[in-house]
Amino acid sequence: MLGYEVARIIGAELAHGFITTFARFDLAQMLDLCWRIGATADDPRVAEVVDFVSGLQGPFGLWENAARPQVSRWVTFDLLRSLLRLKGSEPEEWISLEPRTPFQPYPRRTKRY
């Protein structure tokens, strides 16, 4: 799902809804949103996403899209732009006093018996 929104915008993916039981998150879009609202890589939540996305970078510096190879360059461009702006921002611009939200994927069902 990395770069799905970029692929959809350039026309490589169809823009349709998903009928699934789980949410899909595009980390490239989340990084783009982070730098647009003024967050920096100094925030530990953003730093975790940056580290994870940087670990997905291929040996030649591209973020590969196996299903549609023509999208790889656009996804790489978008991610590099987001990473550059996240690291280039000044730390005073983003102040986050919100504590981390505890994450639980699905609530546990109560057993009938």
What local confidence, expressed as pLDDT, does residue 73 receive? 84
Q: Which two tokens stand for residue 95?
A: 């102040």
Answer yes or no: is pLDDT of 84 > 60.
Answer: yes
pTM of the model: 0.67
Most confident of the ranges 23-32, 83-92, 99-108: 23-32
Domain ranges of the chain: 4-91
Q: C-alpha distances in angstroms, 108 versus 44, 45, 55?
A: 28, 26, 32
pLDDT tens across 33-81, in order? 888 888 888 888 888 888 998 888 888 888 887 777 888 888 888 888 8
